Amino acid sequence: MIRTDDKSLCCGCGACVGVCAVQAITMQTDAMGFRYASVAEDICIGCGRCEQVCAFQKAILRSDSLSAEQPAAYAVRSRDPEALRRSTSGAAGYHLMDAFAAAGGVVYGARFDGPFLVRHERAETRADIGPLRTTKYTQSETDGVFARVQADLDAGRPVLFTGTPCQTAALAASVSGRDRLLLADVLCHGVSAPAVWRACLEDASRRYGVPVASAAFRDPVGRWSETVSSVLFADGTRRTFRHWARLYQKNLMLRPACARCPYASLHRPADVTLGDCWGIGKVRPDWAADDLGASLLLVHTAAGKAWAERLQADWECVPVPLNAVMQPSMTAPVRPGEQADAFARDFLAHGYAFVRRRYAARSLRERWRLLKWNVKRFLKRIGLWR
């Protein structure tokens, strides 16, 4: 039977729920909005199927080996200005999903279901794929999704599944027909607490006196290198804010499992990995200067390579040395912020407005570093800094 005594051993993928023949497992939501597998021991018949399917616990507890090959790395930018504008980074994710569906495949990815909730959904057309683009930094629910993927695979359909590495690993462990399944994961800093996102939007609604119609964790309309969230109110007004992103970047509200993530490495259970190409200035200074965004594409398998080559007409793809684009999520799991426990206590006791004021304000040191960074970037843009 899977272990449920330690929250850091469950990434919330839900794979175990789908394999339990006696429905002994349900997903329970905690106060931070994270979902965890829970076993009704009086119903469990001890068959061990949940333990077999739990890729996350296997990878942590038994150090299951992943591919040891170094992936090929590319900086990618869409040739279509509109696609670039509407995606989080360089629109690599969008073009992969769009081309896969256009070739007759089925795509699964994360989309908003209302402003608060993120869910994995199935898409076959360009219109369905639109909402899957852009990064949602909270956990995406996958209830029933693995069974739908299996049904598509059984029907002979090629499937592209995009998600966090723990979701793609869970899916790979749950379904048969891997030869028809293409897996695209993201470089993953960790998922944030869904309850904090909801409370953040409710706080905005209270402050401005209008209900929230939709929102974005990281608004693609603006400078790519700056993480700015946005909210669209029911009266049509739009506001941007940075406090939620600061809480995320300070690692104050991440899922406990993220601190033990076995996929924070270059070796992934996926065909390709998508990320932000933060080292872009070292290989394409012009892309860094215009700040429109660039995706990082890591190619792990022959199937991934074939798709990357197929998309040359849609995107510009520049090989990059791995050491120029390395970032923390490729080397080690994220470390929770020193104030993470205090943040959770304060959030649960006093709500979002309180933690926004107490934890999202920048310290003098952070303000100084930001000022230096902005000056350097400005000087680079006008050609006075190389």
Least distance to ligand SF4, CB of residue 325, Å: 19
For residues 94 to 113, the per-residue mask of contacts with ligand SF4, x marking binding by CB under 6 A and - elsewhere, is --------------------
Contact stretch for ligand SF4 (CB under 6 A) within 36-44, 302-310, 347-355, 361-369? 36-44
User: Which secondary structure element, helix H or strand E, spans residue 296, and what is its range?
Assistant: strand 295-299
Cβ within 8 Å of residue 382, ≥6 positions away:
none
Q: Report the half-sphere exposure of 340 (CA within 13 A, side-chain side).
A: 18
Q: Determine the interface stretch with ligand FAD among 24-32, 36-44, 183-191, 198-206 (rule: CB under 6 A).
A: 183-191
Angle between helix axes 194-208 and 352-359 (nearest 10 degrees) is: 100
Interaction of residue 59 with ligand SF4, rule CB under 6 A? no
The least CB distance from residue 272 to ligand FAD, in Å, is 10
Binding string, residues 142-181; x marks residues near ligand SF4 by CB under 6 A? ----------------------xxx---x-----------
Binding window for ligand FAD (CB under 6 A); candidates: 26-34, 84-92, 204-212, 262-270: 84-92
270 binds ligand SF4 (CB under 6 A): no
Q: Is 163 exposed, middle or buried (0-12, 13-18, 19+ CB in 10 A)?
A: buried
1 interface partner picked from ligand SF4, ligand FAD, none, CB below 5 to 8 A per type: ligand SF4
Among 14, 71, 105, 220, binds ligand SF4 (CB under 6 A): 14
Tell me the two tokens of residue 175: 């379904």
**Residue 85 Cβ, how far from ligand SF4 at the closest point, in Å?**
27
Restricting to residues 224-263, name those near ligand SF4 by CB under 6 A. Answer: 255, 257-258, 261, 263
Q: Is residue 152 exposed (0-12), middle (13-18) or buried (19+ Cβ within 10 Å)? A: buried
User: 160 and 154 in contact (C-beta within 8 Å)?
Assistant: no
Distance in angstroms (rounded) separating the CA atoms of residues 289 and 281:
8
* Residues recorded for the chain: 386
Helix (H, G, I), strand (E, B) or coil at 253: coil
| Residue 136 binds to ligand FAD (criterion: CB under 6 A) | yes
In the sheet where 238-241 sits, what is the strand order?
212-216, 229-233, 238-241
The residue ranges that bind ligand FAD (CB under 6 A) are 87-94, 97, 109-110, 118, 132-137, 140, 162-164, 186-189, 191, 274-276, 295-296, 327, 329
